[in-house]
Amino acid sequence: MEWRDEGIVLSARTYGESGAILEVFTREHGRHLGLVRGGASRRLRGLLQPGNSLAVHWRARLADHLGTFTVEPLKPRAATLMEDPFALTGLSAASTMAGIIPEREEHPALFEAYELLLDTMEDEDIWPAIFVRWEQGLLQELGFGLDLSRCAATGSRDDLVYISPKSGGAVSREAGESYKDRLFRLPGFMIGAQAGDAGLADVAEGLRVTGHFLERHLFAPQDRHLPDARIRLAERVAKRAEAETTPNR
């Protein structure tokens, strides 16, 4: 059994004296693990950093075996992103969130969105909103998409400003007014406004929304919680948003 594909490194851990177990998100073969012989060596260690795109060649005697990878560099991103603490927080969160994708399940559209997210991470004015949109796509691809096209209560497509934490549906201003304290605010960039126009307060609310549904639908059924890296990202964005709106004294 063998195949070739393009993959983005999610993680790599030492195996034995010199090997590494590599976890990649591939375009056509989903999230996949394999052994890289010599992966702990100085030559390959830098290549197997989260965020790097690789050409991967997987081989195994049987399809359900762990198998081995041979790898070649395609697009190194890790070194650049590691120089920016905020981008590194985002990269760590993205890598751990992608780990919830079922192993060996194909999601080419989600892969392309993930690649786009990583390619924007040098621009901190854009990537946090793209991160939220990617998590929306993750929910959609895994069967738990949010319905933000119309009001869950009235069916109206106008003046959608809230999200129900129960149904994941949008709620109009009029329908949600009497119980708005129990609803999420719906940031405009989650329903079509440009990501570059999103303020940090909107991004912080977006992360709160997607985090709620990701934990409920994907992590809790596995008796897990949102990854620490994802929690740190939400906290960091919230602090930045607060600093942005607090007047200088």
pLDDT attached to residue 194? 79
Of the chain, the percentage scoring pLDDT greater than 70 comes to: 99
pLDDT attached to residue 247? 62
pLDDT attached to residue 227? 97
**pLDDT over 50 at 249, yes or no:** no
Taking the alpha carbons at both ends of the chain, their separation in whole angstroms is 65
Q: What is the pLDDT of residues 62-101, one digit of tens each?
A: 999 999 999 999 999 999 999 999 999 999 999 999 999 9
pLDDT attached to residue 29? 97
**pLDDT over 80 at 193, yes or no:** no
| β-pairing verdict for 147-151 and 169-172 | parallel
> In Å, what is the CA distance from 246 to each residue of 1, 11, 135, 240?
58, 38, 28, 10
pLDDT attached to residue 246? 72
Q: What is the pLDDT of residues 153-172, one digit of tens each?
A: 999 999 999 999 999 999 99
Q: What is the pLDDT of residues 108-135, one digit of tens each?
A: 999 999 999 999 999 999 999 999 999 9
Q: What is the mean pLDDT of residues 144-152?
A: 96
Q: What is the pLDDT of residues 6-33, one digit of tens each?
A: 999 999 999 998 999 999 999 999 999 9
What are the chain's domains? Answer: 2-76 (2.40.50.140), 81-245 (1.20.1440.120)
pLDDT attached to residue 141? 97
pLDDT attached to residue 248? 58
**Contact present, 62 and 1 (Cβ < 8 Å):** yes
pLDDT attached to residue 244? 81
**Contact present, 151 and 175 (Cβ < 8 Å):** yes
